[in-house]
Amino acid sequence: MKFLILFISLTVVSASDYELWQEFKVKFSKSHSLTEDKIRFEIFQNNLRKIEEHNAMYDKGEVSYFLKITQFADWTLEEYRSMLGAHLNGKPKVKPIKTFKHEANFNRPESIDWREKGAVLPVKNQRHCGSCWAFSTTGALEGQFAILHNEQISLSEQELISCVEENRGCGGGWVDVSLTYVQQNGLSSEKQYPYLGGFDYCKNNTGNKPINSTQGYALVDNNEEAMADAVASVGPISIYVNADNDWMLYGGGIFDHEDCGDRFNHAVLITGYDSQSWTIKNSWGTSWGEEGYIRLIRGKGQCGVTVFPIYPVL
């Protein structure tokens, strides 16, 4: 009977929309009450229209990236924004030990991809927890560890979420504060301290941690020349971005959007670059973007990409 009522209420909508809706719910394990399902379906349809309109421009060559159905396709923009969890207010919370600056005589390669060099681990998924800051932190540490030791070890975001008291767990946090915690306490592996996607009491006595401490972190001068030098010579670096608007439904291509938003709300990891774009690893799973990555236009400072690039010094 419930199915019949729902079917009657949907007779005025596109059958293809409803089919996509069913596929979407299965793919992303969405489950709602009958009332909630109707509301979510309407939001999903609105996002479908946005995807279709934008991709029509992409097909004509009017924009450089396309949109697709992501796990956020049944969310409003306001709900999506509430999930973003990086904080950056004014000056860094903790002072860097040094600043990396651009040098005119540095022989920088035209492109680099640290994934090809074994310094980038597989894409992870923060789920509904606003813990991007923890994933950006571990990504930068994993990269430095792999480069220094020629070994890939997945590090624990959950330890950072549960144990860094100055941060706010799933409510957001600061990468520099997280790196200071690691400097003082070390960091467990993912295997030692698995991800829960929510708050848990701190248990940082996990035994022999793969990272015992660090020297601190380095701040990269906030311009794209210095950032490219740092990525080329040091490895993946943590950055803050405005992940507003079309980030929510990004499907692929070079993201070039003047209005990314007006606040720094997401922490990610630059893993490489080419002549046109930065290659950025996200923490929203592999179904989002280009297998979990976004290519962001280079040379325009878009989405606040230069505001606070940092990396740990092991």
The pLDDT tens digits for 250-293 are 999 999 998 886 678 999 999 999 999 999 999 999 999 999 99
The residue extents of the domains of the chain are: 2-63, 77-313
Taking the C-alpha atoms of residue 118 and residue 140, their distance in angstroms, rounded to an integer, is 13
The token pair at 7 is: 């079917």
What are the φ and ψ backbone dihedral angles of 47, each rounded to 5 degrees? -70, -35
The fold of 77-313 is Cathepsin B; Chain A (3.90.70)
Q: Alpha carbon of 19 to those of 22, 54, 209: distances in Å?
A: 5, 21, 48
The token pair at 170 is: 């799933």
The token pair at 218 is: 């380095």
Q: Strands, E, within the chain: which ranges?
A: 65-67, 98-100, 112-113, 216-220, 237-241, 250-255, 266-273, 277-281, 293-297, 310-313
What pLDDT, on a 0 to 100 scale, did the predictor assign at position 46? 97
Q: List the one residue out of 246, 262, 255 whose CA is nearest residue 307.
A: 262
Taking the C-alpha atoms of residue 248 and residue 72, their distance in angstroms, rounded to an integer, is 6
Q: Alpha carbon of 59 to those of 65, 172, 178, 186: distances in Å?
A: 10, 37, 42, 49
The token pair at 114 is: 């640290």
Residues in Cβ contact with 230 at an 8 Å cutoff, skipping those fewer than 6 apart: 100, 220, 237, 309, 311
What pLDDT, on a 0 to 100 scale, did the predictor assign at position 178? 95
Taking the C-alpha atoms of residue 55 and residue 65, their distance in angstroms, rounded to an integer, is 8
The pLDDT tens digits for 73-103 are 999 999 998 888 776 655 567 789 999 999 9
The pLDDT tens digits for 216-263 are 999 999 999 999 999 999 999 999 999 988 999 999 999 999 888 667
Residue 282 bears catalytic tag = yes
Kindly report whether the global pTM for this prediction surpasses the value 0.85.
yes
Name the catalytic one among 47, 125, 185, 282: 282
The pLDDT tens digits for 33-70 are 999 999 999 999 999 999 999 999 999 999 999 999 99
Q: Alpha carbon of 79 to those of 27, 61, 244, 261, 263: distances in Å?
A: 20, 31, 11, 15, 16
Name the catalytic one among 129, 132, 163, 260: 132
Residue 266 bears catalytic tag = yes
Taking the C-alpha atoms of residue 166 and residue 168, their distance in angstroms, rounded to an integer, is 7
Q: List the one residue out of 163, 273, 258, 265 whose CA is nearest residue 209.
A: 163
Name the catalytic one among 129, 265, 266, 303: 266
